[in-house]
Structures are given as structure tokens and as C-alpha cells.
Amino acid sequence: MTSILILNGPNLNLLGTRQPDVYGKTTLADVEALCREKAKTLGLDVAFEQSNHEGALIDLIHAAKGKHAAIVLNAGAYTHTSIALMDAIASVELTVVEVHLSNIHAREEFRHRSYIAPVALGQICGFGAQGYLMALDALKAHLKA
């Protein structure tokens, strides 16, 4: 069965309590449950990781090569700052879909720039937890093609 890594970056462990007006009340555990349910309907396996540390995220991306077919990545604030994450993604040559709960383009200007976007298949933002499910649908279709 095709395996997808769902990788979450800094502060996403606080979902449900961190700025619920921006990120909603859905917890990371809720997101994982939704993704497991969706993956089952798509015939996909999913694995989940979260770290607040840039180097750990890079290590997880490196370890995904040969283990997972693709990555759903919510890099959090590292989206706007991490050339190292961009380089890691480019290095492993795995399909990545970038996900954000909020619409980063409707927020502060510094959030408009994504270092992940140039090495991602696409970007989904502003749909809350549904964005993860949309990413799984997109990856299923892309990997099938």
C-alpha cells in the first residue's frame, strides 16, 4: 500500500488551544484521525510526525525517501524562513504538498513568502483541517497518474 508521511512543524502540537480564532479548535490528534479515515477510503497508508525543531524535520524528510511515496507538509513558520527545509525536500525528490490551516496570503506580509512552494507539487491553505484531506486526494490522483 502506498504510504504518505504527514509532517507537521513548530507549534502544531498546540492545535486546538493555540490561537483558535486563527487555527481553529481542531487538535493535531483530530487531524490525524481525520487523515487516517480519509487515507483508508483512498487505499493509502499514513504516518504522522511533528517536531518543533528544524533539524528534526530535515531528518524526517531525509528518512522518508524509500519509505514513503510522498509528504504532506505543514512546516508552520519554517515555511517562511527555512531554506534548509526547501533543500531537504529538493534532495529527496519526493512529491510534497504544502498545507496551512490558515490562508497565509491573507495574513501578515512575511507569511506571503513560502520557501516550500518552489519544491512542492502544490500549496493548500485556508481550509483548516480539510486542507490535509485535500492534500491526500491530490496526492492519490498525482501518484496514480
Residue spans of the domains in the chain: they are: 2-144
CATH superfamily of 2-144: Dehydroquinase, class II (3.40.50.9100)
Residue type, 90: A
Q: Are 111 and 75 in contact (CB under 8 A)?
A: no
pLDDT at 22 (0 to 100): 77
pLDDT at 69 (0 to 100): 98
Closest CA to 92 of 111, 120, 112, 53: 120
pLDDT at 115 (0 to 100): 98
Over 90: is that where the pLDDT of 101 sits? yes
Entry pTM: 0.95
Terminal Cα distance for the chain, rounded: 16
Over 90: is that where the pLDDT of 51 sits? yes
Helical (H) or strand (E) element with 98: strand 95-100
Residues that are catalytic = 23, 100
Nearest-angstrom CA–CA distance, 9 and 3: 19
Over 80: is that where the pLDDT of 1 sits? no
* CB neighbour list of residue 47: distance below 8 Å, 6 or more residues apart: 3, 4, 5, 6, 68
For the chain, give the mean pLDDT.
95
Helical (H) or strand (E) element with 54: helix 54-64
Over 90: is that where the pLDDT of 56 sits? yes
Q: Are 23 and 77 in contact (CB under 8 A)?
A: no
How does pLDDT run across 8-24, given as a tens digit for each residue? 999 999 988 988 887 77
